[in-house]
Amino acid sequence: MNGFEELDFAKLDTSREERTGFPEVVFCSGKTDEQLKEIYKRLLSENGSVFGTRALASQYEAVKDVIPDIVYDKDSKVLYKGRGDFVSPIGKIAVVTAGTSDIPVAEEAAKTAEFFGGNVLRVYDVGVAGLHRLMARMDEIRTANVIVAVAGMEGALPSVIGGLVKVPVIAVPTSVGYGASFEGLTALLSMMNSCANGISVVNIDNGYGAGYIATQINRLAVKGKE
Amino acid sequence: MNGFEELDFAKLDTSREERTGFPEVVFCSGKTDEQLKEIYKRLLSENGSVFGTRALASQYEAVKDVIPDIVYDKDSKVLYKGRGDFVSPIGKIAVVTAGTSDIPVAEEAAKTAEFFGGNVLRVYDVGVAGLHRLMARMDEIRTANVIVAVAGMEGALPSVIGGLVKVPVIAVPTSVGYGASFEGLTALLSMMNSCANGISVVNIDNGYGAGYIATQINRLAVKGKE
Amino acid sequence: MNGFEELDFAKLDTSREERTGFPEVVFCSGKTDEQLKEIYKRLLSENGSVFGTRALASQYEAVKDVIPDIVYDKDSKVLYKGRGDFVSPIGKIAVVTAGTSDIPVAEEAAKTAEFFGGNVLRVYDVGVAGLHRLMARMDEIRTANVIVAVAGMEGALPSVIGGLVKVPVIAVPTSVGYGASFEGLTALLSMMNSCANGISVVNIDNGYGAGYIATQINRLAVKGKE
Amino acid sequence: MNGFEELDFAKLDTSREERTGFPEVVFCSGKTDEQLKEIYKRLLSENGSVFGTRALASQYEAVKDVIPDIVYDKDSKVLYKGRGDFVSPIGKIAVVTAGTSDIPVAEEAAKTAEFFGGNVLRVYDVGVAGLHRLMARMDEIRTANVIVAVAGMEGALPSVIGGLVKVPVIAVPTSVGYGASFEGLTALLSMMNSCANGISVVNIDNGYGAGYIATQINRLAVKGKE
Amino acid sequence: MNGFEELDFAKLDTSREERTGFPEVVFCSGKTDEQLKEIYKRLLSENGSVFGTRALASQYEAVKDVIPDIVYDKDSKVLYKGRGDFVSPIGKIAVVTAGTSDIPVAEEAAKTAEFFGGNVLRVYDVGVAGLHRLMARMDEIRTANVIVAVAGMEGALPSVIGGLVKVPVIAVPTSVGYGASFEGLTALLSMMNSCANGISVVNIDNGYGAGYIATQINRLAVKGKE
Amino acid sequence: MNGFEELDFAKLDTSREERTGFPEVVFCSGKTDEQLKEIYKRLLSENGSVFGTRALASQYEAVKDVIPDIVYDKDSKVLYKGRGDFVSPIGKIAVVTAGTSDIPVAEEAAKTAEFFGGNVLRVYDVGVAGLHRLMARMDEIRTANVIVAVAGMEGALPSVIGGLVKVPVIAVPTSVGYGASFEGLTALLSMMNSCANGISVVNIDNGYGAGYIATQINRLAVKGKE
Amino acid sequence: MNGFEELDFAKLDTSREERTGFPEVVFCSGKTDEQLKEIYKRLLSENGSVFGTRALASQYEAVKDVIPDIVYDKDSKVLYKGRGDFVSPIGKIAVVTAGTSDIPVAEEAAKTAEFFGGNVLRVYDVGVAGLHRLMARMDEIRTANVIVAVAGMEGALPSVIGGLVKVPVIAVPTSVGYGASFEGLTALLSMMNSCANGISVVNIDNGYGAGYIATQINRLAVKGKE
Amino acid sequence: MNGFEELDFAKLDTSREERTGFPEVVFCSGKTDEQLKEIYKRLLSENGSVFGTRALASQYEAVKDVIPDIVYDKDSKVLYKGRGDFVSPIGKIAVVTAGTSDIPVAEEAAKTAEFFGGNVLRVYDVGVAGLHRLMARMDEIRTANVIVAVAGMEGALPSVIGGLVKVPVIAVPTSVGYGASFEGLTALLSMMNSCANGISVVNIDNGYGAGYIATQINRLAVKGKE
């Protein structure tokens, strides 16, 4: 009884929810169909629910063989079988994007937050090239406990939002752009250097990570430290 | 009445506390003594308190001329005249460092959090080269609402902490190191790619930014969304 | 008569104004006092006026020996003896900065534009952390024929302005910032990837270059192509 | 009536032409066929014309289903249904390339400028390895109100042109080259550091952006500030 | 007789085992089938065994034509015909990975070490996000003469191990990760800057190189310098 | 009794020698004189000896106040009070440099190895621009259990040595060079990509790290795994 | 008659041989079949011979339609119809590679040199991991007027050769390698920083450029300046 | 008698002139006064002349103590006592700069070439911002056997010259510039990617290296291969 389950190729971290408040989540990318089927079965059996990210359609098909009611969202590429918290989501997490192309990353964040019991407000395509679109929605955004701001190219959206709100902004740079966007590096560096306060940054295209942190903060805001 | 005060060389953001919950903070670096004196006087008069970062000793001397009881901490280089919230700090914010050389950045975070009313737990020099030092303090760290993890060199500390706690970890890369640490870039990239969850990152040596976000989260945990 | 004058160490481009509409300007940085004195004397004699950038105070003293009424601005570090166009500046060029620390670069742009006969509108310290400061001045900015937008850190200002105006925005990244601002590289990349249109970029801290281009555009707007 | 139209996945910026003098342009890359069809229909209906960039041949086929007379240029990948200004283009915009491989980017610039009513002069394959080719065309190039200079590899063309003309040069680095050209980064940096004046730079392969700015300047030169 | 054998396209280093203690190993990547067949035949004939890395399945098929009992491992992509030392492997080499996706690189190291006569202990998927998994195996790992630590993403595993053992740790960064992992560069830099001692680093995904060095050290520990 | 001693500003790792075979070593850089004096005293008292790296001359003076017989080497900047193993150094460690300017880094490695009981062979200034100098010493170098190869500029020395020996080569890139040497980055990358085998790399100028690993390997070669 | 021939899409530089001693060479990469056919026909007709680099097999097929006796080398990807100088090649140019995978780049250099009349000595696969292979051929290499040294990975070969010869070494970094070789950047930087003298560097994989310079030097050595 | 002389801290390469045609040259940077005095004395005694680069004025003073007639040029920082070849310099080497600030690097090249017996033509300040200055000197430049082209900023000069001459161009990037010139890296990359032929590149500010190669080529052109 050492807090993990030994598979041939992996050590499932069965004590993770106790330690961190979240069960182990599956990073599907690069895993074989056989590995995924085994991992999904074990985690579902262990935790009563299972959530994975960056799943290919073919991986979905494979896992469906062993978990027929597994749910797949082809845009955000999350693959999951939900949990009870969905019934009454708590608090509010705003997920905001600069453009249309940032939506898949935003949806990864939103679906992560929803899976772990959060109430999500989506505000998409409100980038700084047309600030009035953002301004028209700011009052609504201000009702959230935490904001996930998703942007590629020059990544200016979190700076603008950060100057207008009281709650933390989790900035997610995306690989949307070309040329000197360097696959999201420019957005990442830009967000790092924001002249506004209250902004912290996760890896390029890491919607899942942002959704996770937003869930942590949302829980704290609703329930306090347990 | 448009929410800012026009100086010759600056526009003081007098509506910032209303918008963001924090008054404008002074980034002293690169400002002349004359500019600083003017800004400190105006903000103190406007807000009843004032806080600045990256102040030189010579800047402290200059500001002391106009605000004799201004307080300067030479390690963290913060320069401030405090506010009432100090009387009864709320919640708990853990500030943790990998090494001794990371302490000045950590103190910038801690003093920021304290200035804005937070209760701070300091745990310094618990880097991963001697994990037992961190483990001996984990139970205490787990009582915090949010953790600021400060590290240079390879920046591994936030990853280790992230796997052991339920609350958000704000990772602060420092410029401590040499050679291929590239003045903190390696720590920054390392923290961005953490295999643990719940970690978001601020700019290199940005203790202030981390203290600000930690304050936001700590407030949410104690009071919820107001 | 081949369009340049041969000095020992340089070839003064005496046909430049005919070719480009601007006389040769002196980049003082790295030149010896003796070289500068010779160059200033020759250019003043040739063109009736002379303009140089990045001059040290000591270089000013040296040149003053040979041109007693030379003018030096210690913030922008321009060193010049003016020309007739100052009498009735034409058109309008807006020079806008995100912060106070960006002012020296902005002044290099403004003084360049003024030296070459442009009318300059200065709007400083209106960065995106407090958008209302910018908004309060937008109507005035919109009256310009061209806008020079100067910003360090994440360099978001040109994007915001670009979405609100009809005229070109010349973006000037500055080396203001620390850590992952990489001495202005982050601002440069950010400006390159703007989601707004009408934005082109010059080198880091290159106020002179922006002032030059703004002059070209301002002239075209006022006089058309001659 | 807040200046934009809400679609499921996007917020069309219907007040953009009023603000900026240009209607919203579609960045086709990464959009689904269904999204594009909807956006093209709405914008055409709203503005009487529509222009998009980086469209795939398959996207052209999709949009043709709903707008049968949509026009597609497979080299520059622009997809548009034109506007009245084509009837009598104004001013002159020179679009110049260093090599044959730079032509697709140059055509994106040229077609953008033409769509928005400019008269375009094309001068292609006049790179610095054979300067006489450029020199033979300089008199013609000098008649333009603005010059778009497109080059990959070492990107030296704008520097040479900049030293010979009175009007602004918009430099467009291209991803043409190999090895240490780093997909256009070398050309971008080179253009940024030009020893000639009057040169500002847009993103790698951003012909559209250069055509847009050239249109702004050309309009100012012909009509002045309206 | 100059210590190499001249082929049309290569010079086989027939004196390498005498000089270095290892025969020449084949880097299959980029070689044609015909070249590989020739090289494998010659080396097998010369040395009585042959080992190659980064072989494609198609290259395996080609070589099998001339060496029917050649062995191919599709995960680690090694292609070899073994040697006598397998009979009684010496010492102990621990090969440890942070995640499941690092296993192919780890297996390249492990199979290299085994081919050259070492006894290998595999401990996979013990990354720092769940430290208890590593701790549960540390006593076993400590029995090895040398440790190969394989990790992508932030590459923190070698730092943690380095603080807990007496023997050298060969750190292998892998290209596992996304975004700001930059194909393994972040892990490489992180390992370079480890705050723990006893860690040296090989190229990204260079399992072979780590297995080679581990073999050298393991031999020294068992037999001393011969 | 948790294996460390708590100071105000640090946690001395008193169980390190038991865990790793080496006592804690002091990285003097960035520590105050007061901190150093305290740390040196405690470690000397705890372990009977003490070793530090990157000490300034002024730090030496400070520590001498409390430990009068502390030894300082101004070239390698090590500061230590020795241990008994010096009496009969074991095995052999070759420390080799490409140039004269690499000697300070090499001496840090050599003195580290000697402090921890190793017998060191120094071979300096044998870079590849004059291979005969290296060849004249190769037989001697081959008698070592491990080789530390120190080089700046293009860092080719470890590759050449690696092809000629049976034992591990620890490559130390140095910041010697200029221009595109990028303070040692070029040497580091070069060493990472060596076409020879048996080479692993430590951080730029990290002579200490190389001396530590060489000591580990030398001990294994002499005594085997204890 | 201005020294070039105007095609629709290109300006053939018909005065190039007179200016530079070499006719225009075709960079086939990125050109359409139709463009290539036209260019090859024109240049062949103009110059009596034609040479191109980086031609695809499909481009060869296209050009063969209009020039049936065109010659294609599939390894080096050169496509040419030769000239008289082949009859009696002059001087000697040594082309040397570190590995087998560098041969295609080396052959581009060798065939370029041969096309322009040089006598080429090929010495392949003599990298520094087995120095004796190089040493066995050095006397022969020393007879050349110029040496082209081709290497990927750490690019150490030119440094070693440079220390042993009297004539210029043209270093060609190749993209051979993986991980931190960064597609040839490491080899390029390494060659730039050679501790040996007489080494200058061309772009990654630029065999053609090296062959061209070697031809220039070889001609000077044989005929002097004409 | 192994072709080098052993000093305490260095191995003087006494067989270098026989191998390479040049005696060992001293890189003064980073050497102590004592080391320099010893090295200069030994080399002068061995070779009858001595040449060093990057010498500080204080190093000159030190060496003058032991070699009173040593010659120092404070701009190029070369320190030498000449040789007989000065009497009748051979051939012609053109050294060309883009700007005045590039002259120190150019002089290092010129003085190196002169020391080793070459006839040098200096053409300074002919950068591409005023092409007519270069064109006025091209006929003279064309008489050289080899051209050293020195430029900072965008480094376009070698490309322009390369398209106009028959002999090799050795391109020397300089650290002249600011912002995105990255201390010469932009010029280096630009030169690497020249669209002109016949250009090879040496390290940033490496005037010595260019002068050395130019000497090799000039000798070949005058005397052929000896």
Structural domain count of chain H = 2
Residues H109 and H75 in one domain: no
DSSP code at position H136: T
- List, for chain H, all residue ranges whose pLDDT scores fall below the cut of 50: 1
CA dist E63 and E44 (Å) reads 12
CA dihedral C42, C46, C48, C52 (to 10 degrees): -50
| One domain for residues E100 and E212 | yes
Closest CA to G120 of G207, G202, G55: G207
pLDDT above 70 (res A1): no
Question: How confident is the model over E97-139, as pLDDT tens digits?
Answer: 999 999 999 999 999 999 999 999 999 999 998 899 999 999 9
Closest Cα of chain D to A119: distance in Å? 20
Whether residues D52 and D141 share a domain: the answer is: no
CB contact under 8 A, F178 and H4: no
Whether residue E226 is predicted with pLDDT greater than 50 in this model: the reply is yes
Give the lowest-confidence range in B184-193, E8-17, F60-69, F115-124: E8-17
User: Does A133 contact D4 at a Cβ distance shorter than 8 Å?
Assistant: yes
The two tokens of residue G105 are 């780049």
Which residue in B130, B159, B179 is closest to E156 by CB distance?
A: B159
Rounded distance, CA G40 to CA E161, Å?
A: 62
Residues E31-64 have pLDDT tens digits of 889 999 999 999 999 889 999 999 999 999 999 9
For chain D, give the mean pLDDT. Answer: 93
The CATH number of residue D123's host domain is 3.40.50.1970
Give me the pLDDT at residue H165, please.
96
CA angle F173, F174, F177 (to 5 degrees): 120
Task: Report the alpha-carbon distance of residue B113 to residue B122 in Å, rounded.
Answer: 12
Give the pLDDT mean for A11-35.
90
Q: Do C140 and C159 have their domain in common? A: yes
Residues A195-207 pLDDT 10s: 999 999 999 999 9
Task: Provide the H-helix boundaries in A48-156.
Answer: 57-66, 103-115, 131-135, 138-141
Is residue E102 located within the same domain as residue E182? yes
Measured CA to CA in angstroms, residue E190 lies from B134, B172, C186, D51 at distances of 20, 15, 22, 47
**Which residue in chain E has the smallest CA separation from B125?**
E195
Pick among G122, G133, G157 to test the E interface (most E CBs inside 10 A): G133
Contacts of G24 (CB under 8 A, 6+ apart): G12, G13, G14, G16, G43, G47
Res A226 pLDDT > 80? no
Torsion of CA E76, E81, E85, E88, to 10 degrees: 70
Q: Which residues of B touch chain F, with CB atoms under 8 Å apart?
A: 100-101, 103, 124-126, 129-130, 132-133, 136, 176, 178-181
Assigned token pair, B137: 């303090």
- The CA distance from C172 to C208, in Å, is 10
Q: What is the dihedral of CA C214, C220, C221, C223, to 10 degrees?
A: 130
Question: What pLDDT score does D1 carry?
Answer: 46
3-state secondary structure of B220: helix
Last residue of a domain, one of H81, H113, H128: H81
Q: What angle is formed at CA E202 by the lines to CA E197 and CA E203, rounded to 5 degrees?
A: 140
pLDDT score for G4: 85
Strand order, beta sheet including B78-81: B26-27, B50-53, B78-81, B71-73
**What is the per-residue pLDDT for F1?**
46
Distance CA E34, CA H218 (A): 45
My answer on whether C65 and C167 are in the same domain is no
In angstroms, rounded to a whole number, what is the distance separating the alpha carbons of residues D47 and D21?
12
Looking at the structure, tell me whether residues A133 and A46 fall in a common domain.
no
Per-residue pLDDT, H87: 66
Q: Note the pLDDT of residue D86.
A: 56
Residues of chain B contacting residue A220, judged by C-beta atoms under 8 Å apart: 145-146, 167, 217, 220-221
β partners of residue C123? C96
Which distant-in-sequence residues (6+ apart) come within 8 Å of C7 by Cβ?
C38, C39, C42
Both G77 and G95 in a single domain? Answer: no
Average pLDDT over residues B71-78: 94
User: Do F99 and F9 sit in the same domain of this protein?
Assistant: no
User: Over 50: is that where the pLDDT of E5 sits?
Assistant: yes
Could you tell me the residue range of the domain that residue C162 belongs to? 90-225
Q: Do B130 and F205 touch (CB under 8 A)?
A: no
pLDDT at A225: 83
Cβ of G4 and D100 within 8 Å? no
CA geometry: angle B86, B22, B60, nearest 5 deg:
65
Position H1 scores a pLDDT of 46
| Residue of chain A with shortest Cα separation from C156 | A156
Res B44: pLDDT: 94
Considering Cα of C33, then C36, then C38, then C41, what sign does the dihedral take?
negative
Is-contact D186 D177, C-beta < 8 A? yes
C187 neighbourhood in chain A, CB within 8 Å: 193
**G76 token code pair:** 């080096």
Domain boundary among A81, A107, A131: A81
Domain shared by E127 and E65, yes or no: no
B178 vs F29: CB contact, 8 Å cut-off?
Answer: yes
Instruction: Give mean pLDDT, residues D47-58.
Output: 95
| H or E element that contains F91 | strand F90-97
ipTM surpasses 0.90: yes
Spatial separation of the C-alpha atoms in residues F207 and F53, rounded to whole Å: 9
G191 or G7: which leads in pLDDT: G191
Distance of CA A9 to the CA centre of its chain: 26
Q: Which residue of D has its CA nearest to C202?
A: D200
Structure tokens at C32: 């010896």
Name every chain A residue with its beta carbon within 8 A of the beta carbon of B146. Answer: 220
Q: Are H157 and D194 within 8 A, CB to CB?
A: no
Phi, psi (deg, nearest 5) at residue C50: -155, 145
Chain H residue with Cα closest to F126: H11
Last residue of a domain, one of D81, D113, D147: D81
Helix H segments across E32-101?
A: 33-47, 57-66
Residue E1 has what pLDDT?
Answer: 45
Residues B35 and B142 in one domain: no
Residues E70 and E96 in one domain: no
> Shortest CB distance from D15 goes to which of A124, A132, A181?
A132
Task: Please give the torsion angle defined by the CA atoms of residues G45, G51, G53 and G58, in that order, rounded to the nearest 10 degrees.
Answer: 50
Return the axis-axis angle of helices C207-223 and C103-115, rounded to nearest 10°: 40
CA distance F175 to F154: 11
G72 forms beta bridges with G79
Question: Span A96-121, mean pLDDT?
Answer: 96
| Residue G85 pLDDT greater than 70, yes or no | no
- Tens place of pLDDT per residue across chain F (226 aa): 468 888 888 888 888 889 999 999 999 998 889 999 999 999 999 889 999 999 999 999 999 999 999 999 998 999 999 865 556 899 999 999 999 999 999 999 999 999 999 999 999 999 998 899 999 999 999 999 999 999 999 999 999 999 999 999 999 999 999 999 999 999 999 999 999 999 999 999 999 999 999 999 999 999 998 7
- pLDDT of res. C1: 46
Please name which of C172, B76, B209 lies closest in space to residue A192, comparing C-alpha atoms.
B209
Closest CA to F192 of F169, F208, F209: F169
Interface of B with E (CB under 8 A): 98-99, 127-131, 153-156, 159-160, 162-164, 177, 179-182, 185-187, 189-197
**Rounded distance between C-alpha atoms, residue E142 and residue E140, angstroms:** 5
Percent of chain G with pLDDT over 90: 84
Q: Please answer whether residues D109 and D95 qualify as being in contact, where contact means their C-beta atoms are separated by less than 8 angstroms.
A: yes
Which ranges of chain C have pLDDT less than 70?
1-2, 83-87
Neighbours of E50 (CB within 10 A): 26
Q: How far is G136 from chain D (nearest CA, A)?
A: 32
> A78-111: buried (b, 16+ CB within 10 Å) or exposed (e) per residue?
bbbbebeeeeebbbbbbbbbbbbbbbbbbbbbbb
Q: What is the pLDDT of residue E87?
A: 65
pLDDT average, residue stretch G67-72:
96
- pLDDT tens, residue by residue, B195-206: 999 999 999 999
What is the rounded average pLDDT of the residues A49-61? 96
* DSSP string covering G195-225: SSSSEEE--TT-HHHHHHHHHHHHHHHHH--
